[in-house]
Amino acid sequence: MAFKPANSIQDLQYFGEFGGVNPSISDSSTYTFLSAKTMFDTFEGNADGCYLYSRHSSPSNLYLGEALAAMEGTETANVMASGMGAITSVLLQLCEGGSHIVSSRTIYGGTYAFLKNFISRFHISTSFVDITNLDMVEAAITPHTKVIYCESVSNPLLEVADIGGLSEIAKKHGLKLVVDNTFSPLSISPKPLGANIIIHSLTKFINGSSDTVGGVVCGTKDFINDLRNVNAGAAMLLGATMDSLRAASILKNLRTLHIRIQQHSKNALFLARKFEADGLKTVYPGLVSHPSHNLFKTMMNGSYGFGGMLTIDVGTLEKANALMELMQHKNLGYLAVSLGFYKTLFSAPGTSTSSEIPLEEQQAMGLSNGLIRFSIGLDADIERTYSIMRDCMLELGIIKSTMA
């Protein structure tokens, strides 16, 4: 039977202290113990269900973690202060000096910078590969490789990772497959496809209101316990802990994720088809012209569609900037980084979210100057949105009128 992630979230029951329909928010950094012995046992990791200090865990964070684990079909999860907090903790937990990582070359700019400039200082090296080429992925593996790292749908080029194929390679070589699923929550479920650890930036679609940063690591109980370990856990010791008040508010937003994703996907597919028909170079996994359209279809949870992200290439950075400014002026969305908001957000990745990547490398991976990344919003009337966007593009000469 197909995996039904939204059902898994909905089936969880939580009640507040006084029978409230939402769980009570835990507003404490520390917890009392009835006996000194229980405190000792808790620090030793032998007292399940006891809280010791909120950097380790808190009731509100566990509620949100449980819901996200249900969504991804993993045993458990640990919420973190940001997506980067999740990514850096996972990689530092899995690697040691001398380790090697095979990573997709088209990934979030911050992750790229961490791998290239930061974790390398600890003699952990990374090979960046074209993740859509499984032979190249396997060829990059060395005896020191610990991790294959990718995004299910990559930022910003929207390359689609063959998670099943990558998981076979990971299994064969005894590696962990770590998948950042930020661009495709609900649409793609990496765990049933064979991923070991799934990461999200909750900042984006999952929270959906652009009012906080947050992250999560979904995985086995053993791995999450390792992350939280008081003596050697990266989550515990690096301290990227989410605040309980935020965890409670993200959990409430998670309730509507299935409806929002359907609307983001519906609007994005509509615009992608129109843009492509207008002769714009358009990348969207829902278009038949996308090189991984069929692969995406084999991986997706039907009703959630192909997600809310699309890109167009308008040729030059000047045109891209002019179009984005005009669209913002017409209130079609905001010139802003990030994604998953109710309003459409647009940015030119080469000069913003991917600016960590050197220019030559941007060009090698197909990240061109005129690229605009859109996070399509929840617009109630997407036909109106399109017609105003089209007027903007005609005005700037980005598309030509087909009417004589």
Ligand X SMILES: *Cc1c(COP(=O)(O)O)cnc(C)c1O
Catalog residues that contact ligand X under the rule CB under 6 A: 82-84, 108, 110-111, 151, 155, 180, 182-183, 201, 203-204, 213, 215
Q: How far is the CB of 182 from ligand X (least distance, A)?
A: 4
Nearer to ligand X, 99 or 182 (CB): 182
What CA–CA distance (Å, rounded) separates 323 from 33?
Answer: 60
Q: How far is the CB of 48 from ligand X (least distance, A)?
A: 30
Nearer to ligand X, 23 or 214 (CB): 214
Q: How far is the CB of 17 from ligand X (least distance, A)?
A: 30
What CA–CA distance (Å, rounded) separates 233 from 55?
Answer: 11
Give the SS3 label for residue 80: strand
Beta strands 197-201 and 215-219 are antiparallel
Q: In what order do the strands lie in the sheet with 145-151?
A: 76-80, 215-219, 197-201, 176-180, 145-151, 100-104, 125-129
* Main-chain dihedrals φ then ψ at residue 280, nearest 5 degrees: -80, 145
Q: Which two tokens stand for residue 53?
A: 């200090």
Nearer to ligand X, 23 or 156 (CB): 156
Nearer to ligand X, 141 or 234 (CB): 234
Length of the chain measured in residues: 404
- 18 CB contacts (<8 Å, ≥6 apart)? 24
Nearer to ligand X, 89 or 385 (CB): 89
Nearer to ligand X, 76 or 201 (CB): 201
Q: How large is the C-alpha radius of gyration of the chain? A: 22
Q: How far is the CB of 12 from ligand X (least distance, A)?
A: 24
Query: How many other CB atoms are found less than 10 A from the CB of residue 228?
Result: 18
Nearer to ligand X, 90 or 392 (CB): 90
Q: How far is the CB of 124 from ligand X (least distance, A)?
A: 19
Q: How far is the CB of 168 from ligand X (least distance, A)?
A: 24
Nearer to ligand X, 280 or 300 (CB): 300
Query: How many other CB atoms are found less than 10 A from the CB of residue 106?
Result: 25
Q: How far is the CB of 326 from ligand X (least distance, A)?
A: 25
Query: How many other CB atoms are found less than 10 A from the CB of residue 179?
Result: 29
Nearer to ligand X, 306 or 386 (CB): 306
Q: How far is the CB of 180 from ligand X (least distance, A)?
A: 5
Q: How far is the CB of 215 from ligand X (least distance, A)?
A: 5
What CA–CA distance (Å, rounded) separates 286 from 289?
Answer: 8
Angle at 337 between CA 372 and CA 90, to 5 degrees: 115
- Give the residue nearest to ligand X (CB): 83
Contact indicator for 350, 362 with CB cutoff of 8 Å = yes
Amino acid residing at 366: G
- 65 CB contacts (<8 Å, ≥6 apart)? 76, 77, 78, 79, 216
Q: Which two tokens stand for residue 8?
A: 């898994």
Give DSSP secondary structure letters for 344-374: -EEE-GGGTTTTTS-HHHHHHTT--TTEEEE
Nearer to ligand X, 9 or 150 (CB): 150
Q: How far is the CB of 306 from ligand X (least distance, A)?
A: 16
